[in-house]
Amino acid sequence: MTDTPVAGRSGRDGARSRAVLLAAPLLGLMALAFFAPILWLLAMSVYDPTVARGLPATAEALAGWSGDGNAPAAVYPAFAADLGAAREAGTLLDLARALNTRLPGIRSRVVSAARANIDPAAADEARFAALHKSWVDPATWRAVQASTSPWTGFHLLAALDLRVGADGSIERVPAEQAIFLKVFQRTFLLAAAVTLLTLILAFPVAYFAAQAPRPLATLILALVLLPFWTSMLVRTASWMVLLQKEGAVNQILALFGLGPLSLMYSTSGLLIAMMHIQLPFTFLPIYSVMKNIPTQQLKAAYSLGAPPLTAFRRIYLPQAMPGVAAGCLLTFILSLGYYITPALIGGPQDQVISNSVANYINAELNWHMAAALSVVLLAFTFVLYAAFGRYLAPSSLKAK
Amino acid sequence: MLARAEHAGEARGAGLEIRALHKSYGHFHAVKGIDLTVQPGEFLTFLGPSGSGKTTTLNIIAGFETPTAGEVLFDGRPLVNTPPYRRDIGMVFQNYALFPHLTVEENVAFPLTVRKLSRAAVAEKVAQALGMVQLGHLGARYPAQLSGGQQQRVALARALVFNPRLVLMDEPLGALDKKLRDHMQVELMHLHRSLGVTIIYVTHDQGEALTMSNRIGVFQDGRLVQVDTPDIIYRSPATLFVSDFVGENNHLDGTVEERHAEGCAVRLESGLRIESRSGEVGPGDAVRLTLRPESIAILPAGTVSGEDNRFAGRVVERIYFGDHQRLVVQLQGGVTVMVKASPSLALPPGSPVELGWPAAACHPFRLS
């Protein structure tokens, strides 16, 4: 008789493996099309083998160098040989660009050194010094030496406006080169402003819709969700039409003798457009939580002697908080990743971190820097989620 | 707080008077003219089917609804323009309406903290109220961690902790299982007796109403059709509706043949002649007689007794309940009646029986 439960269990296992099999296509797609590229991109923030591949001989010549005093003489012939090889292979420009990210300005010097086509046998310090005096500066070779390791924290530090100083310690970059912290700060402030504004708009509407009789509630819901079903690009473009100098908003204002307001390429225009796109995301979680608060709750509070405001504050609001937290977190995190809307409606002063990422990918072709900025944004987002995520659990569930 | 009525020396309950109360929603008249006086300290039950206006009336007393016309007087003071939070009327809701984000103690403390009592006074009263419902040990729990019966007691403690002189209860035991409901009924009666508060209790369960109430008000279609003690409601229902809503009945339809000193005689369509109370019917009226199954006696065969009505019949069906059995008996002429009998009587289907009942057990109601 002992085989009966075993048969039963193997039957259950069979059902479970069939379920996994059914989910396999989606899991496979996620792994291939989602997790793998993201991991690969994130890894690029710390893995950059371009220089190591392009300067194998130079790397070897610099391997033993402590960084004190002048670079070893063997560097010059090795460097000349590497440049010649890179020129032959057609990888010279990639190499020059990679070096340039570590040592701004070196790009043109690398290219001209390669053009000089120095014979490795004749290459020495004097020959390079004649090209440019920086070739005899130990700082140059220290930077080249640092670049020859494929694993580097350089991009991550740069994304935080930090660098490794001459003495090997981490220091802030000079104020005129510091750009990213400011952009990060702007990104988070913009997301916070959008979150707060959508909350102010969504909360009363959600409350009203949750209390309203069914047909009216359905209508309100449809009105709030209607924009939700339109593409974000279309909505952004529509706002451009509305907000521009001769646009609908300014024409209407002109009827009342007001304006014109410069809403395009301004922070206020950007806020209006982003609020419009994010409103449903803030609204829906609040509404769904409010919908589940029985109307009896407020009646009970009144019957126990609480005036309407007290009842709202002490009974209704705490029960609506999980929805408020969920809606705000959703909008905040989505707003951190905005790209199209700031690019099209915001001015140069409104560019957010996604624009920087796009710039590094599309224009600068420096995917490592783009990856590093993404890692920092992701890390900040996780920290915020961890900080606020625990307020999401309603207290009635906490105790369970 | 929660001073026993006998200690307080006077009735703690408030009197309530309802005058010509109407409530309509558009074309729908939920309450059509209710007049009622509730005595201080009384346990009065609103009994009726759903949609009969009992809950609307309760909501008007609580202040959640404004009457279209009429007045509600609380100890003689008009109440209609007082907002619910200043009425000092306790209320227990159908699904308890406990606050899920507050602990049991915080729930019970709520009416006291909104009244800005001192911390020490709140703690003392909460402990006392929870002790009263035997939940002192569960104060730190959340409502979701309690059983239905425990939640019910918390709701009760919360509605009583601020010493209201009138407590409204809207089907508070509806969600409990039968055993617990019976138990809570007794507890509620004890609480009512020891606190002396006035209680207005809404239910559609006639058993509950009969058990607990000092008086029952039966609602039908927005009107109060009868307000009386449970005994009078059961034995002398004013209308056919009340008679049918409270307890079980056999229906016997016929025509009044004659009225005489003790009552009247009704000829059923099947030809049987039945002696009945006189009621408010006259000769020639089409009437329906109601006859409670427990007032029909099974007579030993062959005996001659002084029963007003006596018929021979045959058992058609027997339903066994443990403490009693119900017999469906077919009388001469095809009339069937349900009889409640002692479970020890062995009367399988087919057995011949003699049934008898007094004229006073039959209530005639005119059919319109």
Q: Do A137 and A234 fall into the same domain?
A: no
User: Would strands B77-78 and B198-203 be described as parallel, antiparallel, or unpaired?
Assistant: unpaired
Q: Over 90: is that where the pLDDT of A392 sits?
A: no
Domain final position from A150, A171, A190: A150
Q: Over 70: is that where the pLDDT of B156 sits?
A: yes
Encode pLDDT of A278-292 as tens digits: 999 999 999 999 999
Q: Over 60: is that where the pLDDT of B256 sits?
A: yes
**Min CA distance, B144 vs chain A (Å)?**
7
**How crowded is residue A252: how many other Cβ atoms within 10 Å of its Cβ?**
12
pLDDT band at B7 (very low <50, low <70, confident <90, very high): very low
**Min CA distance, A330 vs chain B (Å)?**
23
Specify the DSSP class assigned to residue B262.
S
Is pTM beyond 0.90? Reply is no
Type of residue numbered B98: L
Would you call B114 and A305 a contact, using CB atoms and an 8 Å cutoff? yes
Minimum Cα–Cα distance from A299: chain B residue = B64
Q: Over 50: is that where the pLDDT of A3 sits?
A: no
C-beta separation of B134 from B190 below 8 A? no
**Min CA distance, A288 vs chain B (Å)?**
17
Type of residue numbered B51: G
C-beta separation of A129 from A136 below 8 A? yes
User: What is the side-by-side strand order in the sheet with B215-220?
Assistant: B89-92, B166-170, B198-203, B43-47, B215-220, B223-228
* A118/A78 Cα distance (integer angstroms): 11
Helices (H), B73-229: 104-113, 119-132, 148-160, 178-195, 206-212
Specify the DSSP class assigned to residue A71.
P
- Domain membership of residue A140 (yes or no) is yes
- Domain membership of residue A174 (yes or no) is no
* A272/A294 Cα distance (integer angstroms): 34
* B298/B355 Cα distance (integer angstroms): 5
**Three-state SS string across A328-340, please?**
HHHHHHHHHCCCH
For A89-105, give the DSSP string: HT-HHHHHHHHHHHSTT
Minimum Cα–Cα distance from B59: chain A residue = A299
- Domain membership of residue A168 (yes or no) is no
Q: Which two tokens stand for residue B31?
A: 């309450």
- From chain B, the residues in CB contact with A303 under 8 A are 62-63, 84-85, 87, 89-91, 159, 168
- Domain membership of residue A4 (yes or no) is yes
Q: Over 60: is that where the pLDDT of B1 sits?
A: no
Q: Do A253 and A387 fall into the same domain?
A: yes
Q: Do A100 and A188 fall into the same domain?
A: no
**How crowded is residue B115: how many other Cβ atoms within 10 Å of its Cβ?**
14
Tell me the CB-side half-sphere exposure of residue A313, using CA atoms within 13 A: 6
Q: Alpha carbon B252 to chain centroid distance?
A: 25
* B167/B155 Cα distance (integer angstroms): 12
Q: Do A10 and A83 fall into the same domain?
A: no
Q: Do A27 and A54 fall into the same domain?
A: no
- From chain B, the residues in CB contact with A294 under 8 A are 95, 97
Q: Which of B60, B64, B110 to mutate to test the interface with A (most CBs of A within 10 A)?
A: B110
* A74/A236 Cα distance (integer angstroms): 58
C-beta separation of B209 from B200 below 8 A? no
3-class SS of residue B47: strand
Considering only the beta carbons, identify the residue of B93, B97, B101 that sits closest to A318: B101
Q: Do A219 and A76 fall into the same domain?
A: no
Would you call B95 and A294 a contact, using CB atoms and an 8 Å cutoff? yes
**Min CA distance, B189 vs chain A (Å)?**
22
Encode pLDDT of A129-139 as tens digits: 888 888 888 88
Q: Over 70: is that where the pLDDT of A16 sits?
A: yes
Q: Do A391 and A248 fall into the same domain?
A: yes
Q: Which domain holds residue A112?
A: 50-150
Would you call A304 and B159 a contact, using CB atoms and an 8 Å cutoff? yes
- Domain membership of residue A272 (yes or no) is yes
User: Which residues of A make CB contacts under 8 Å with B?
Assistant: 294, 296-297, 299-308, 310-311, 314-315, 318-319, 394-396, 399-400
Q: What are phi and psi of A163, to 5 degrees?
A: -155, 165
pLDDT band at B304 (very low <50, low <70, confident <90, very high): low
* B223/B59 Cα distance (integer angstroms): 15
Domain final position from A128, A150, A172: A150
Q: Do A225 and A320 fall into the same domain?
A: yes
> Over the range A111-132, which residues count as b (16 or more CB within 10 Å of their CB) and which as e?
bebbeeebebeebeeebbeeeb
- Domain membership of residue A163 (yes or no) is no
**Min CA distance, B111 vs chain A (Å)?**
5
pLDDT for the residue A7: 47
Would you call A395 and B145 a contact, using CB atoms and an 8 Å cutoff? no
Q: Do A36 and A94 fall into the same domain?
A: no
- Domain membership of residue A164 (yes or no) is no
3-class SS of residue A160: coil
Q: Do A134 and A3 fall into the same domain?
A: no
- Domain membership of residue A137 (yes or no) is yes
Percent of chain A with pLDDT over 70: 93
Domain final position from A47, A66, A82: A47
Considering only the beta carbons, identify the residue of B63, B86, B93 that sits closest to A296: B93
- From chain A, the residues in CB contact with B143 under 8 A are 396
pLDDT band at B234 (very low <50, low <70, confident <90, very high): very high
Would you call B97 and A319 a contact, using CB atoms and an 8 Å cutoff? no
Q: Which long-range contacts (CB under 8 A, 24 or more apart) does B329-337 make?
A: B329/B353, B329/B355, B331/B270, B331/B272, B331/B355, B332/B270, B332/B271, B332/B272, B333/B268, B333/B270, B333/B271, B333/B272, B334/B270, B335/B252, B335/B268, B335/B270, B335/B272, B337/B250, B337/B252, B337/B291, B337/B293, B337/B296, B337/B313
B92 Cβ contact list (under 8 Å, min separation 6):
B155, B156, B159, B167, B168, B169, B170, B172
- From chain A, the residues in CB contact with B151 under 8 A are none
Would you call A300 and B97 a contact, using CB atoms and an 8 Å cutoff? yes
pLDDT for the residue B336: 92
Considering only the beta carbons, identify the residue of B90, B99, B145 that sits closest to A297: B99
Q: B119-132 and B104-113 are packed helices; what angle lies between their axes, rounded to 10 degrees?
A: 130
C-beta separation of B154 from B98 below 8 A? yes
* B363/B277 Cα distance (integer angstroms): 6
Total domains present in chain A? 3
Encode pLDDT of A341-368 as tens digits: 898 888 888 889 999 999 998 988 888 9
Would you call A303 and B62 a contact, using CB atoms and an 8 Å cutoff? yes
Q: Do A189 and A322 fall into the same domain?
A: yes
Q: Which two tokens stand for residue B257?
A: 């043949």
User: Would strands B215-220 and B43-47 be described as parallel, antiparallel, or unpaired?
Assistant: parallel
Residue with tokens 């981490």: A170
Q: Which of A290, A304, A397, A400 to mutate to test the interface with B (most CBs of B within 10 A)?
A: A304
Q: Over 90: is that where the pLDDT of A167 sits?
A: no
Minimum Cα–Cα distance from A319: chain B residue = B101
Q: What is the ipTM of this complex?
A: 0.84
Minimum Cα–Cα distance from B109: chain A residue = A304
- From chain A, the residues in CB contact with B115 under 8 A are 305
pLDDT band at A317 (very low <50, low <70, confident <90, very high): very high
Q: Do A111 and A1 fall into the same domain?
A: no
Encode pLDDT of B17-50 as tens digits: 999 999 999 899 999 999 999 999 999 999 999 9
C-beta separation of B337 from B296 below 8 A? yes
Encode pLDDT of A33-89 as tens digits: 989 988 998 898 998 888 888 888 888 888 888 878 888 888 888 898 898 898 888
